[in-house]
Amino acid sequence: MMNLSNLIIPGKTIGIIGGGQLGRMMTLAAKKMGYVVGVLDPERNCPTAQVADWHITAKYNDVEALRELALRSDVVTYEFENVDVDAITKIEHLVHLPQGSELLSITQDRLLEKAYLEENNINIAPYATIIELQDIADSIDSIGFPCVLKTIRGGYDGKGQIVLYGEEDISKCELLLKTGICVLEAWIPFERECSVMVARNEAGEISVMPVAENLHRNNILHETIVPARIDEEITEEVQLVATRIAEKLNLVGVLGIEMFLTSSGSLYVNELAPRPHNSGHYSIEACSFSQFDLHIRGICGWPLPEVKLLSKAVMVNILGEQIEESVFQILLKPDWHFHYYGKDMPKLGRKMGHITILTENIERTLETIENTGIWE
């Protein structure tokens, strides 16, 4: 049951911890809805600060800076999961933090996340806790080759992980293990990699977005195709799993869920992201409500809508090495939706923007993207 006393009305202030592109797009959604937005980020000209009303330049674990953010805000959210949980708990009594610190602590730790999913009967790949090299050798009988060793904290876009194809690869893991405890996961021979964004508010209302299909290159998301090219019953199962996870986690705001689909139709949850997700960017143009609209609605106590897919779409990421050539496409592709994040340094493999293409023919659009020669 929605309650007016829980509604954070337009004109109030949303504080965002983290100033990257997700915070930028959150801010644009919040501003459209009439909110004042402040951001805390150590980078002076970060993407979010360029569109927010005010900016506290400080590290994410700076408790005094977080206190200032809390005292200047009516609600606080975070745009990425590597925020210091201990620092967050120190401001929970000062400001409404609807996502809470528990979700953050679970999704920050791969072992905790896997244990939580297992406990709630969510299908995941077989895994083992790895502290030293011998643990890998001891676990291979149950995990098998190929498998993936990952750090339990941090790591994204393929960082902090090693794929093992045989016993000769075990010695290559020594350096990664020096960073701390790791998790060894069985390699799932997937046919499709899917993701879905799910939103929930404090009243328990849930919105599940269309299921997306993801294509990666060098462990970095390359393209997202919506709707995913999967059977209707698989789509329904993905959305059912998303709903169950949102309920079990008492989610508030948006959660991104990545899954593997095998040729036999089995689904495995790979990873959770406690905020909007790269593979949900298509929703800005292709849906009746974007993932960022849902996130702001969720944390501000608004009712959540049923999200409709208005058009099939393909989203393609623009990395640092692709930015110059992508700009030239502005002159050639009047129907493409270009998003640039305002980042200062176009580094190799760094996400600098994305393009969303609304389409009636997915295959033809994928071909058109390939024919530009940018994404080779």
Q: How does pLDDT run across 259-293, given as a tens digit for each residue? A: 999 999 999 999 999 999 999 999 999 999 999 99
CA-to-CA dists, residue 283 to 135, 188, 200, 290, angstroms? 43, 28, 17, 5
Domain 4-97 has CATH 3.40.50.20: yes
Q: How does pLDDT run across 105-164, given as a tens digit for each residue? A: 898 899 999 999 999 999 999 999 999 999 999 999 899 999 999 998 876 655 788 999
pLDDT recorded at residue 156: 60
Beta pairing partners, 129: 183
Rounded CA-CA distance 54/38 in Å is 5
Higher per-residue pLDDT: 326 or 345: 326
Residue 238 token pair: 């993905």
Query: Coil, strand or helix: which one is 156?
Result: coil
pLDDT recorded at residue 130: 94
Smallest Cα–Cα separation from 295: which of 337, 251, 338, 244? 251
Give the HSE-up count for residue 212: Cα atoms under 13 Å, Cβ half-sphere.
33
Lowest mean pLDDT among 5-9, 48-52, 231-235, 285-289: 5-9
Q: Is the pLDDT at 1 greater than 80, yes or no?
A: no
The mean pLDDT value of the chain amounts to: 94
pLDDT recorded at residue 158: 58
Q: How does pLDDT run across 329-346, given as a tens digit for each residue? A: 999 999 999 999 999 889
pLDDT recorded at residue 2: 60
Q: How does pLDDT run across 55-112, given as a tens digit for each residue? A: 999 999 999 999 999 999 999 999 988 788 888 999 999 999 999 888 888 988 999 9
CATH topology for the 126-186 domain:
Dna Ligase; domain 1 (3.30.1490)
Contact of 164 with 244, CB cutoff 8 Å: no
Domains 4-97 and 126-186 share a fold: no
Tell me the domain boundaries of the chain.
4-97, 126-186, 190-371
User: For domain 190-371, which architecture applies?
Assistant: 2-Layer Sandwich (3.30)
263 CA to centre of own chain: 25
Report the length, in residues, of the chain. 376
